Amino acid sequence: MTGEVAVLGVGMHPWGKWGRGFVEYGVTAARTALADAGIDWRDIGSIVGADTVRGGYPGYVAGATFAKALGWQGARVASVYAACASGAQALNTARAQILAGLADVVLVVGADAAPKGFFRPAGGDRPDDPDWLRFRVLGATNPTYFGLYARRRMALYADTLEDFAQVKVKNAALGALNPHARYRKKVTAEEVAGSAVVADPLRLLDICATSDGGAAVVLSSMDFARRHGAAGPVRIRAVSTVTPSYPNTVLDLPDIATDSAAAVRPADGTFRASIARAAYEEAGIGPEDLSLAEVYDLSTALELQWYEDLGLCGEGEAVKLLREGATSLGGRIPVNVSGGLASFGEAVPAQAIAQVCELTWQLRGSAGDRQVAGARVGITANQGLFGHGSSVVAVR
Amino acid sequence: MSRTRTPVVTGWFAGEGDDFRLLGTRCSACTSVFFPREDAFCRNPGCPGGELVEVPLSPRGRVWSYTDSRYRPPSPYVTDPELSWEPYTLIAVELESERIVVLGQAAPGITVADLTVGMEVVVVPGVLNEDAETTWTTWHWQPTGVAA
Ligand SMILES: [Zn+2]
A 253-282 → B contacts, CB under 8 A: 255-264
Looking at the fold, whether A390 and A366 belong to one and the same domain comes out as yes
Looking at the fold, whether A183 and A290 belong to one and the same domain comes out as yes
* Rounded distance between C-alpha atoms, residue A127 and residue A133, angstroms: 6
Considering the domain boundaries, does residue A270 fall inside one? yes
* Rounded distance between C-alpha atoms, residue B93 and residue B102, angstroms: 5
Chain B residues with beta carbon closer than 8 angstroms to that of A149? 65
Q: How far is the CA of A10 from the centre of ligand 1 (A)?
A: 47
pLDDT one-digit tens code per residue, A209-253: 999 999 999 999 999 999 999 989 999 999 999 999 999 999 999
**Interchain pair A147, B46: CB under 8 A:** no
A292-295 and A76-80 beta bridge pairing: unpaired
Chain A residues with beta carbon closer than 8 angstroms to that of B147? none
A105-112 and A46-50 beta bridge pairing: parallel
Considering the domain boundaries, does residue A248 fall inside one? yes
Query: Does residue A41 contact residue A65 with C-beta atoms inside 8 Å?
Result: no
Tell me the DSSP string of A372-390. PTT--EEEEEEEETTTEEE
**Interchain pair B103, A152: CB under 8 A:** no
Q: What is the ipTM of this complex?
A: 0.97
pLDDT one-digit tens code per residue, A329-344: 999 999 999 999 999 9
* Rounded distance between C-alpha atoms, residue A7 and residue A37, angstroms: 8
* Rounded distance between C-alpha atoms, residue A239 and residue A197, angstroms: 36
Looking at the fold, whether A303 and A358 belong to one and the same domain comes out as yes
Query: Does residue A204 contact residue A348 with C-beta atoms inside 8 Å?
Result: no
Q: What is the CA radius of gyration of chain B?
A: 17
Helix (H, G, I), strand (E, B) or coil at A26: helix
- Residue B109, Cβ density class (10 Å: 0-12 exposed, 13-18 middle, ≥19 buried): exposed
Q: How far is the CA of A162 from the centre of ligand 1 (A)?
A: 45
Look at the alpha carbons of A370, A33, A91, A89 in this order and tell me if their dihedral is positive or negative.
positive
Q: Does B38 touch chain A (CB under 8 A)?
A: no
**Interchain pair A200, B75: CB under 8 A:** no
pLDDT at residue A71 above 70? yes
Tell me the DSSP string of B26-56. EETTT--EESSPP-S----TT-----EEEEE
Chain A residues with beta carbon closer than 8 angstroms to that of B117? 151-152, 155-156
pLDDT one-digit tens code per residue, A267-280: 999 999 999 999 99
Considering the domain boundaries, does residue A312 fall inside one? yes
Q: How far is the CA of A290 from the centre of ligand 1 (A)?
A: 41
* Rounded distance between C-alpha atoms, residue A132 and residue A141, angstroms: 11
Considering the domain boundaries, does residue A284 fall inside one? yes
Closest CA to A299 of A116, A104, A161, A129: A161
Mutating which of A138, A248, A249, A253 best tests the B interface, going by the most B Cβ atoms within 10 A? A138
Query: Does residue A109 contact residue A49 with C-beta atoms inside 8 Å?
Result: yes
Considering the domain boundaries, does residue A342 fall inside one? yes
The alpha carbon of residue A96 is apart from the nearest alpha carbon of chain B, in Å, by: 27
B4-7 and B134-143 beta bridge pairing: parallel
Closest CA to B106 of A161, A139, A143, A149: A139
Considering the domain boundaries, does residue A122 fall inside one? no
Higher per-residue confidence, A116 vs A80:
A80
Confidence of residue B63 (pLDDT cuts 50, 70, 90): very high
Split into its structural domains, chain A has a count of 2
Helices and strands: H and E segment counts in chain A: 14, 11
* pLDDT the model gives residue A11: 98
Peptide bond into B76 cis (omega under 30): yes
Q: Does A127 touch chain B (CB under 8 A)?
A: yes
* Rounded distance between C-alpha atoms, residue A83 and residue A51, angstroms: 8
Reading phi first (left if > 0) and then psi (alpha if -120 to 50, else beta), residue B19 is in: alpha
Closest CA to A167 of A294, A303, A308: A303
Query: Does residue A87 contact residue A350 with C-beta atoms inside 8 Å?
Result: yes
Looking at the fold, whether A163 and A292 belong to one and the same domain comes out as yes
Looking at the fold, whether A61 and A162 belong to one and the same domain comes out as no
Looking at the fold, whether A112 and A219 belong to one and the same domain comes out as yes
Q: CATH number for the domain including A185?
A: 3.40.47.10
Looking at the fold, whether A39 and A148 belong to one and the same domain comes out as no
pLDDT at residue B1 above 70? no
Choose one of A185, A220, A236: the last residue of a domain. Answer: A236
**Interchain pair A259, B43: CB under 8 A:** yes
Chain B residues with beta carbon closer than 8 angstroms to that of A199? 67-70
Give CA A236 to chain center in angstroms.
15
Give CA A176 to chain center in angstroms.
19
Q: Nearest residue of B to residue A136 by CA position?
A: B77
Beta bridge partners of B136: B6, B129
Looking at the fold, whether A135 and A190 belong to one and the same domain comes out as yes
Considering the domain boundaries, does residue A124 fall inside one? no
* pLDDT the model gives residue B73: 95
Q: Does B42 touch chain A (CB under 8 A)?
A: no
Confidence of residue A115 (pLDDT cuts 50, 70, 90): confident
Considering the domain boundaries, does residue A123 fall inside one? no
Looking at the fold, whether A193 and A217 belong to one and the same domain comes out as no
* pLDDT the model gives residue A120: 77
Query: Does residue B30 contact residue A250 with C-beta atoms inside 8 Å?
Result: no
* pLDDT the model gives residue A231: 87
Look at the alpha carbons of A131, A135, A140, A146 in this order and tell me if their dihedral is positive or negative.
positive
Chain B residues with beta carbon closer than 8 angstroms to that of A148? 64-67, 90, 92, 103
Query: Does residue A160 contact residue A212 with C-beta atoms inside 8 Å?
Result: no
Alpha helices in A336-380, H assignment, sequence order: 340-344, 348-364
In degrees and rounded to multiples of 5, residue A386 shows phi and psi of 70, 20
Looking at the fold, whether A252 and A232 belong to one and the same domain comes out as no
Q: Does B135 touch chain A (CB under 8 A)?
A: no
Query: Does residue B45 contact residue B37 with C-beta atoms inside 8 Å?
Result: no
Closest CA to A254 of A138, A352, A340: A138
Looking at the fold, whether A33 and A179 belong to one and the same domain comes out as no
**Interchain pair B75, A120: CB under 8 A:** yes
Residues 6+ apart with CB under 8 A from A385: A83, A84, A131, A252, A253, A254
Whole-number average pLDDT of chain A: 96
Mutating which of B53, B91, B101, B138 best tests the A interface, going by the most A Cβ atoms within 10 A? B101
pLDDT at residue A124 above 90? no
Residues with CB under 5 A from ligand 1 (ion): B 27, 29-30, 32, 42, 44, 47, 50
Domain span holding position A217: 5-117+212-236
Confidence of residue A181 (pLDDT cuts 50, 70, 90): very high
B 5-24 → A contacts, CB under 8 A: 8-10
Looking at the fold, whether A226 and A288 belong to one and the same domain comes out as no
